[in-house]
Structures are given as C-alpha cells and as structure tokens.
Structure 1
C-alpha cells in the first residue's frame, strides 16, 4: 500500500481529524501566549519605564507622603500617627494616610503611573531596626526620565517645606541616623547670653569655615572644623550650640559615646554618613575617657567597661585616614583638665572657648532679656545684689530664678535673690 493511500485514509478518519484539530488549536494558543509574553516584554522594555525606591533610600518616606498628598483615589491606605507640639504647649495629633501594600494608580502631567508597594513576607522581612523591608515601584509609559526627577524633586521640596524654620535633631540608630522627636522651633541666638564677644567670635569662625571650602581644597587641608566649649555646668554650652544650629539652619546629630552598642567601626561609619547641613555634637566627653597622662586608680575603675569606643577609635574618627570631610563638630566638657591632650590638639579641636559662670555683662544681658522695659539702674541693682550674695553663679540658676518672677523684677530683686541663695 502506498504512503499516499495511508495518509488519505487517515484524513478520512473522523477521530484523527478531531485530534489533529485540537492539537493544532493547542499549538496556536501556546504560540499566541508566548508571542504575547514576548511582545509585553519588548513593549515594557522599549515603551515603559520603572523606578524602584527601597526603604533604605532617603526619599522613600518623601515619595509615599507625596503620593498621598497628590492622589485622591487611592483606596488602600495605611495610617501613620504623628504628634506636633504647638507654641501654646499643647500637642496636636496628625493622621497621615499613605498608600498601603499593593497596587495603586494615579495620573501626573497627563501620564498614568502605576504604583506598586511591596513588602517582604515572614519574619525574615524585617531589618535590624524592626522595620519591614519594602520597595515602591513606579511604572509609567514613555522613556522620559524627567517625569521621575520631577516627582522626586517635588516630594523633597514638600517634605523639607514642613521643617522650614525648625531644627531637626538626629540620633544614631543602627548604622544610620534617625530623626529624634518632632522638629523643634529654632531657638533665637539672642536668647543665649554669653560673655562679651564670645558668641560673636564663634559665629564668625563657623561662617568663615562654611563659606571657604575651596580654600581648604586648594591647600590640601581636610575640610573639617572642631570646636570645644568648656566650663562649669549650667553656663549655656549646649544652649548656644542649639541656637547656633538654628541660626545656620542646620540640624544637630547628637552622638552618645557611652552607648554600649557603639564600636569604633560603627562610630567611623556614622561620622561618614551624617545628614548634610548638620552639626555633630559630642556632649560631656570628659565622662567617656580618662587622660592617659594623668590617670588615677579611682577614675580608671569608674570608666572600666563603660563603653566599647576606645580613645584610639575616637582620635581616628576625628583626624584619621578615613575621617569624614565637610564636617562641623562641637564637643562640650565640664572638666577640660580630664581630657587627653591628643583629643584636643589642633586638627581635632581647632577652636576652644571657655564658657564660664555668669559675668556682670551676662547678668545685665539676661535681666534685660526677661524684663525689656526696665531702666539701667534696676539692672545695676540686680547685678550688685547678686555679687553681694555670691561671686560665682551660673546662668541656669539665674534663669530658674526669673521663672518664678516673670512679671515682677522688683520683687525678684527684693525677695527672690535672698530666697535663691538661702536655700
């Protein structure tokens, strides 16, 4: 029997014809599916653009908040509760609704954008800060990247606009800096009364440093500046640094060297990732290290095992090979004699200023600050009575006295000073 006869017989068989038809339909369907998948991949590759932002990125929270503020049809929301302290002292509660995990759509400049917020499932999906690992993906038609630049820039400006006129405080958390508390109202520089010309000298030096980065670069000098404010407690060292940050429109990174989780490596890392336009503040450095030149048995026992940061690690952080550039650092201490000379040598501490007990100049200044409409004779009487009672007094003591006599300067002089020093 010829092959043509066999093929002809199969063609006349109805069972074979039905099977071949089904097979053909299956082949065509699979081919169409593969073609659609390949076409979608090519379409996404050539006609769509995706931006991915992870939680680790600085703009992650900015972007979520901007999407919330500029989209009105998002139905799946997550809530974030925030508190704001008003000038009256009351606390106002804010509820921010941000897009929850899932898919969302919004239109921006006549372009539809798909937002997909993803979260890693399970216990492995959390970082060391206890926050879930998340990403946000934005997908839009076209190849123009400027739409994403525009969105991110708008998100940044809106986020920073909320903090205009306020001082941001940062504290070390893990391997990065986290904003600590709500933004604070800037403290006026005039509210901190230091001895004559001390405040002006520091401010002038800081402004000159900020304005001359090219001078350091041209001479091969590391672009960093260190300041040490020393003196008795309550003299206004920390208050002045807070007011200075407000004057410069800077934030403050508070670094606690006594933190048991802080090591030399982590300290160096933190100093290299400080937020821009911030002052790094190390308070009471005498409470963390004992001078190697004048150690005592009592002080050595007191500081043994206090922290994991070594003096060598701190010195390398301040002026080592990997120390950070473009850095503005302030240290405070009540006992400069307890500090190791290597810690406060030039290059690590460039400017030292003594902030001492209240001088006559400061006493007059703070008196006029609290009681603006009094004559000079009353201010002189106040200073004279203070000196008759005590030759040394801190600005903190005087300010605390004024808090009991807000509107009564004469009563404060006649009764308050006696009560303060007779306690």
Structure 2
C-alpha cells in the first residue's frame, strides 16, 4: 500500500514541481547563508577598520588630509564644502572655500595600500556639545596593512599643524571641549599695537616672568596662575593687544563667553582646567556677565554660571594650575571688588584715549616719517579731544592716499574732552 501511495505522488506533476522548487529554495537559502557567513569570516580575518567619531580631534585632520595631502589621491563621489569667513581689523573680509569628502563611500591609496573610507551622518542623533549631527569616519583596509593607520594619522596631524605654523589658533568652547574657531590667524607683531608708553612693556615683562619661573611658584607653595585685567574705553586696543601678545609668545587664545547659554559652574571649571597647552584664556567684557554680586549669584543672564562659581573656578580648590587669564572690560567701576582682588587679578592696566605718543606712532605708520611737520599738525589738531585708536585707524584708512587731507579733517573725529 505504501508503494502505491508513493507511486501516486511521484506521478503527480504538481507535487514534483513543488518539491523541486522547495529544494531549489532551500539550496539557495543555504548558499546565501553560507556566503554571508563566509564573507563575514573573511572580512573579520582579512580586513580591519578604524572608526573616528566627529568628537575626536583627528576627525577634521583626516578629512582635510584626504583632500590636500600630496602623498595620496582620493576618489570621492561626494564632496562637502567648508567655508571660512574672516573679518580683518581694518574692516576687510576674506572668504575661503575648502572641499572635503562628503557623506558616502570613498577610496584612496596610501603607501601602496588601498583604503575604503565611509563617512556616515546620523540624522536622528546630535552631538550635544554643538547640536550638530553626529558623524563618523570609518577607514577599512587589509589586515596586513593595519600598521599604516598610525602613520596615516600622524601625517594628517603634521599637515594640520603645518597649517597653523606661524599663526595663532582661536579656540571657542563647544560643550565640554575647546575647538578651533575659524581659520588660524597670522601672528600679529607686538609693536603693531601702539599703546601708551610703558604699557606693553610692563605686561610683557610680567607675563614672561610668570612663564619662566614656574619652579619659583612651586617651591613657595604659590598657585601657578596669573590673572590680568585690561580696562578702558572701547576701541582702545585691548583685544588687539592680547592677540598680538599671544602671537609674540607663540601661544594660542581660548575665548570664553560667560553669557553662553547652557554654561554651568561645572562646565566652566572643566573648561578652565582643560584649556589647550600654551594658551591664553580670554574673558571679554567681563562686566557684561557679572556687574554686581547681588544680581549674579542667582543668574548669569543666558548662562547658568553663578558669581560664586566663577570665583571658585578662578582660584578655588579645584581651579587649575599653569594658567594665564586675561579679562577685559569697558566699565571697571561695575565690577565687584571680589572678582578683581589680588590672586584673581594680579596686574591691571588701563587702556585710555589715544595719547600724543600713540597718535604720532600711528600717523608715521600710515604715512611714513617724511613729513614731521604735518604729523605734529595732526597731533596738535587733536589736542583737547577724546579719540580712540580704533577711530584713528579708521580715519587713516579713509585718507590713506592724502595725509594732508587727513590732517585737515582731524577735527571731525573724536569728541571734546571734558573740562
């Protein structure tokens, strides 16, 4: 009977076709599973990947290196633009466009080995430090070439540092980290900022004395940190001098905005304690963040920094060592005495209206030393008037082709000095 049933099924064309299709489907599924498993096994044995998240410092280095390195040529089907817009002190602007590998898959050859680069962007995931989409660059190559990863990263680092050589990097806070803000600026000569006689020399001598005498501080148990307050009228050169000083010392600048939304006492302390090496920390317009203790113990305007939190960050138990802080203000009378007491501010310098010394120096810088009489006429025309160095610079730029006209119209700038 069993033989009769089997014979009936064997003679049924529908059963035979179905069984055949089932067998083919099963075979294909087994083949696909084996292929995927084999591919994974081969990938794990033959290939190696290096993941670089956008939060890592090497992330922009590698993207820039791929597009500019003379030692490699990358094939990139998609590109992203990086626009750098710079405004100079004289009012002119400069815009540069850089092209780097965009999201997608890219291929390049480095020292005889092929690398596949995948740049991914998570649209549903944000970097909480700057609200930008979270990105990742993954480099994949043969396992035998894994030794090239450190060489690649080092070459990218060196190329990035060459871009900064002879320049001052401006850092800004992004969440708990410091990141470069815009393109590095060309170092400005210290003598390009004309100050009242003796001011530049006093500050430079004090900073040099601090930098060169770390052991003196440690031997006497004195906290190794220094604070400076530059105060005075707007446009008197406070920020310009700090930029020039940083370039002269071959330091960078970390600009910290105390009114930044979301800034807390803990993050402030973390930023001050983890500033990049050889950097001056700049707190501009300190009066705009905290005028009096009564108003600031409860709020820091858009930020959540308290006055006591700022004081503790400057010289509290958890405050960092080996730190140089510059504060600037146009209204020193509005600052709480506790903020600028010795230990938090060790040297104060006033940046006032342009002096005859500054006026002469700026006139000669624009028009040369050929006409001393014309220079003295200009200085005399401004006697009894309050004029800032920023206003003077703008005046000289406007009449750069006619020193005589600059002298004739000197009365139009500044304001009469109070009796």
Identify the TM-score tier after normalising by the shorter chain. Answer: 0.7 to 0.9
Unaligned runs of 5+ in 2: 1-22
Once residues 209 and 203 of structure 2 are traced to their aligned partners in structure 1, the CA distance between those partners, rounded to angstroms, is 10
Alpha-carbon shift at residue 57 of structure 1 (Å): 0.2
Alpha-carbon shift at residue 96 of structure 1 (Å): 0.5
Judging by fraction of residues, say which structure has more strand: 2
Which structure 2 residues correspond to residues 4-403 of structure 1 after superposition, within 5 A?
A: 40=42, 43=45, 49-70=48-69, 71-83=72-84, 89=92, 91-98=94-101, 100-101=103-104, 103-120=105-122, 123-128=123-128, 129-141=130-142, 147-292=148-293, 306-307=301-302, 308-387=304-383, 389-390=384-385, 392-403=386-397
Alpha-carbon shift at residue 353 of structure 1 (Å): 1.4
- TM-score in terms of structure 1 length: 0.77
Once residues 56 and 38 of structure 1 are traced to their aligned partners in structure 2, the CA distance between those partners, rounded to angstroms, is 29
Once residues 271 and 78 of structure 1 are traced to their aligned partners in structure 2, the CA distance between those partners, rounded to angstroms, is 36
Deviations 1:231-253 (A, max 9, x none): 22232212211222232333332
Alpha-carbon shift at residue 314 of structure 1 (Å): 0.7
Alpha-carbon shift at residue 230 of structure 1 (Å): 1.5
Q: Which moved more, 1:307-316 or 1:105-114?
A: 105-114
Deviations 1:47-86 (A, max 9, x none): x654321111011011122123344352432322424669
Once residues 31 and 360 of structure 1 are traced to their aligned partners in structure 2, the CA distance between those partners, rounded to angstroms, is 86
Once residues 348 and 94 of structure 2 are traced to their aligned partners in structure 1, the CA distance between those partners, rounded to angstroms, is 39
Structure 1 residues 159 and 422 mapped into 2: Cα distance closer, same or farther (>3 Å)? closer
For these two proteins, the number of residue pairs brought into alignment is 389
Structure 1 residues 37 and 379 mapped into 2: Cα distance closer, same or farther (>3 Å)? closer
For residue 260 of structure 2, give the secondary structure of its aligned residue in structure 1.
coil
Alpha-carbon shift at residue 159 of structure 1 (Å): 2.0
Aligned partners of 2:103 and 2:120 also within 8 Å: no
For residue 310 of structure 2, give the secondary structure of its aligned residue in structure 1.
helix
Structure 1 residues 79 and 318 mapped into 2: Cα distance closer, same or farther (>3 Å)? same
Once residues 336 and 174 of structure 1 are traced to their aligned partners in structure 2, the CA distance between those partners, rounded to angstroms, is 29
Q: Which moved more, 1:54-63 or 1:257-266?
A: 257-266
Aligned partners of 1:49 and 1:142 also within 8 Å: yes
Structure 1 residues 225 and 149 mapped into 2: Cα distance closer, same or farther (>3 Å)? farther
Unaligned runs of 5+ in 1: 1-21
Once residues 331 and 86 of structure 1 are traced to their aligned partners in structure 2, the CA distance between those partners, rounded to angstroms, is 23
Deviations 1:253-298 (A, max 9, x none): 2222223432222222222333333322112212322345xx7xxx
Aligned partners of 2:272 and 2:320 also within 8 Å: yes
Q: Which moved more, 1:164-173 or 1:363-372?
A: 164-173
Q: Which moved more, 1:83-92 or 1:70-79?
A: 83-92
Structure 1 residues 219 and 49 mapped into 2: Cα distance closer, same or farther (>3 Å)? farther
Aligned partners of 1:115 and 1:139 also within 8 Å: yes
For residue 172 of structure 2, give the secondary structure of its aligned residue in structure 1.
strand
Once residues 239 and 74 of structure 2 are traced to their aligned partners in structure 1, the CA distance between those partners, rounded to angstroms, is 47
Structure 1 residues 144 and 316 mapped into 2: Cα distance closer, same or farther (>3 Å)? farther
Aligned partners of 2:281 and 2:326 also within 8 Å: yes
